[in-house]
A and B are shown apart, each in its own frame.
Chain A
Amino acid sequence: MVVFDKPHALIDVPLHYCPGCTHGIVHRLVAEVIDELGIEGKTVGIAPVGCSVMAYNYFNCDMIEAAHGRAPAVATGVKRAEPDKVVFTYQGDGDLASIGMAETVHSAARNENITIIFINNAIYGMTGGQMAPTSLPGQVTQTSPYGRDVKLCGFPIKVCEMLSQVDGAEYLERVAVNNVKNVKNAKKAIKKAFQNQIDGKGFSLVEVISSCPTNWGLTPQNALKWIDERMIPYYPLGVYKDRSAQKEDAE
């Protein structure tokens, strides 16, 4: 009896992520969903610039490495050229909410039929812990050494809340992966985001509140706790938009 197996959509190689980083969990959830939906052979993934820059080495489907922030534009090109394929991007907060904000908002506005997995860990991980567009007020980072001063550098961007105002967006949900219950919910949301694309419903984004123990300067356990204590109060979990469900309700 098999009690634990690796998803086929995830290549069996060691990941480069730091100990305690939750990228590994999210990679696995995406791969499990690809397996369960039986779509690996027709899926094209877009990797970002950031910690998950080498995701193309981990997913077994065809993969494209995009320039920083441009994954939704690249995904738009792929999907428009190959509408029958399943196209997803996997992006961090700097990639999606800072340098790539225009691509994010406009792909939502166009209701591009793509799936976006958005990792929000409130920090630039790859470059060594700088302030992200989602860093919390007061959060100490390498480039906000005295804590994020909102008078100086503004407020964090709440991506799901913001995109919920964009008519084109189909489905927006914020989840976390800091405990078993949240991980299970996260998988459900990710699966729905892929299923929506298969059903032709359009732009589906799952924001995953994740940990970065290395750059937060916390142990893995304390990092998971920090998600509960600091991240989730600022970034409440839940569904921010589900157009199909709203339509069904209305009917």
Chain B
Amino acid sequence: MSTTQYLFAGFGGQGILFAGKFTAYKGLIEEKQVSWLPSYGPEMRGGTASCSVIVSDDPVGSPIVSKPDVLIAMNLPSLDRYEDAVVPGGTIFVDSTLVERKVKRQDVTVHYIPATRLASENGISTLANMIIVGNILKTFNDFGEESVNAALKKVISAKHADMLDVNLKALKIGAEQ
């Protein structure tokens, strides 16, 4: 009986929705109940992007995550906006390349990952999102290679099959942090 509510947030183009989709698909493959809800509208084009993902052993009620167990903040406005919403005892993952300040909350666990820097150093500059996801998987002891691979195959269309390896690479880089 467990439910994890994720809120992925950043700016358009960072792959926020993709990271959420991967997380939801991984849950589905592991036979959990899942939902994925994006923010939509003009803000998708360069402004703030966010998506709610719920992975649960029970049927998902509201798909809107207003009190995340896990916040992924990939830029400063996202941390500013959602830091206080995280449940006490929750976890925040911060892209520390782009977010210079520290998390103020004392009642949450924080992981600072220089995801954007790591991505560009490794020649996968568009995959900071998946580096963070890799770190989430490691943190929660959830890096099941089989379901990770299966989920990647679901979210990456056959047309872009060449992207499978680099995404896996990004996840592994994240897991090593």
Answer whether A and B touch in the complex at a CB cut-off of 8 Å.
no
Instruction: List residues of A whose CB falls within 8 A of some B CB.
Output: none
Instruction: List residues of B whose CB falls within 8 A of some A CB.
Output: none
